[in-house]
Structure 1
């Protein structure tokens, strides 16, 4: 039996939502993925079985909870299976935490989906949660267990520093992303701007104004996710109309739903940079799209969690 699998050592398991990232994380941690059987009955019901002994082990289950909800169900069943098999501790590693946009009751008679998912994870038996760039920071408070909230910012800033862009403006595509943009601007020695937009309907964005000086400067739009890309595409056009030079974009979670690929490909971007928290299939890739990996970041966080070291030291 390998030393890494000694009693009480870390063990990595993965659902089917993002196996390439899980394998990359396993290489960083230097622990192979544990054997898991995940099957579906003819009616679509999910069956999960852990094919190795997990008694007394420190378990890390890697699964981005992308749509459809099967990914969440897989995670819940995996947690339940290892808890019933007497695992010592279970950490839900969720590079992308789905339903995060449903984090408040902003209309009458709507669900708070993010809190519901948090409750289900804890009820299933998760002892800790590790995730990357929640849609809103307060989601950490939805859990009754410790949460390690990682930021993809070091991955992006390293990439853009190597480009040695000068006279750069980091632009937040809306007021809600201003804190993230401010962090990028500080790390890249850039100034900051904000897009003033309104949403007449879900997944529909309309730019009203650009706050900040962008004329004659390179601009970097930063956000936590790109879904249908309406916000990003309209923001890029607004910046170009106001005299910006090259327009770049970065976003942690590349959901790329519906018309997103077409919108981004036709918008005046120099480059769009995302991470692999969500798998980006070949049919959604296009010239100008760059996918960076968070495997090293998440892998190091898992190692630090296992040996009870500070995860926040990764960002100092």
Structure 2
């Protein structure tokens, strides 16, 4: 495939900070959309330049309804104004834990249905970061190129920088244990898993944990922290199994409601994560690394820029 040129990089409003970091990695300017809000609450968007014949890259999260619709508007707008290709990177996919419905429940599996809405806007390429489930990759008819970008290398480097001694990685459930095993392989450290069962919306039960954590600092790893319920139960299980300290790590730091306070009350002084969720920055509790390098590397490879 020949090297592609004439790349235009834009973002949804909520992804502007991360997009600026990606632009710096790519040495490509960000093209800022013209936006305003009408008195009745409707949103105005306009491309500030002619995008006909351009390779358009849109970086956008779908963490709330407004951002989800904005991303669809940008994709369909790019088609309307004849972009040569429309390429999307979604650092955080909303509703990603709702990728399937229980039999006879009447539930709407919005992880799938909303991703289908994005695909039906006809992008050429969509990349996701650290998905909860890869089922969403296949929620189209085969005409869209999809990509799942893993960020384990960045997470491993962040843990190395923190110079934690004698640690073990812990998965809060067996479903995530393969991912934790890959990270443990990068760090050359042991790993183990607890047993988690979900019995209601945002409610889980975490079972017993092996003695692999005894005498070590446990780093509990997951793809996201929403309310922190299963993580906090796993903290208790780690201490019961003999851990001398506990840290927490997840790619997507949603931390809804009073999740931060609950972790602090449990004695957790460090949560490691990425800047995929809008507004996530380092502070006294959070140690945040940026995913901009892996997004930039993926785009360089895709557009044959290196």
Q: What TM-score does the superposition give when structure 1 sets the normalisation length?
A: 0.89
* Alignment RMSD: 1.9
> After superposition, where does 1:25-174 map in structure 2 within 5 Å?
25-67=22-64, 69-107=65-103, 108-143=105-140, 144=142, 145-174=144-173
Distance in 2, matches of 1:265 and 1:248, equals 11
Distance in structure 1 (CA, Å) of the matches to 2:188 and 2:101: 37
- Is 1:275 equivalent to 2:271 in the alignment? no
- The Cα of 1:66 is off from its aligned counterpart by 0.9
Residues 193-232 of structure 1 aligned to structure 2 (within 5 Å): 193-232=192-231
Residue-pair matches, total: 300
CA distance in 1, matches of 2:305, 2:5: 13
- CA shift for structure 1 position 212: 4.7
Q: Secondary structure of 1:48's match?
A: strand
Alpha-carbon separation, structure 2, partners of 1:43 and 1:261? 35
Supply the distance in 1 between the matched residues of 2:211 and 2:49 (Cα, whole angstroms): 56
Q: Is the 8 A contact 1:58 1:306 kept in 2?
A: no
Unaligned runs of 5+ in 2: none
Q: Is the 8 A contact 1:236 1:268 kept in 2?
A: no
Inter-partner Cα distance in structure 2 for 1:246 and 1:142? 41
Cα deviation code 1:118-162 (max 9, x no counterpart) = 221122121110110011123212233111211111111011123
State the 4+ residue runs in structure 1 displaced beyond 4 angstroms. Answer: none
Q: Shift in Å at residue 286 of structure 1?
A: 5.3
Equivalent position SS for 2:18: helix
Match of 1:3 in 2: none
Give the deviation of 1:300 after TM superposition.
1.8
Range with bigger deviation, 76-85 or 231-240: 231-240
Q: C-alpha displacement at 1:250, in angstroms? A: 1.1
Give the C-alpha shift of residue 164 in structure 1.
4.1
Distance 1:118 1:215 in 2: 42
User: SS at 1:17's partner residue?
Assistant: helix
Cα distance, 1:28 vs. partner? 0.9
Kept in 1: contact 2:56–2:86 (CA 8 A): yes
- What residue in structure 1 maps to residue 257 of structure 2? 258
Deviation at 1:30, TM superposition (A): 0.8
Q: For each residue in 1:167-224, what CA deviation from the matched residue of structure 2 results, as whole angstroms up to 9, or x when unmatched? A: 3221101122111111111111111211113333211233221135211012111111
The 3 A distance-change label for structure 1 pair 200 and 121 is closer
Counterpart of 1:210 in 2: which secondary structure? Answer: coil
Question: Aligned residue for 2:178?
Answer: 179
Larger CA deviation: 161-170 vs 125-134: 161-170
Is contact 1:265-1:286 (8 Å) kept?
no
> Which residue of the partner structure matches residue 289 of structure 1?
286
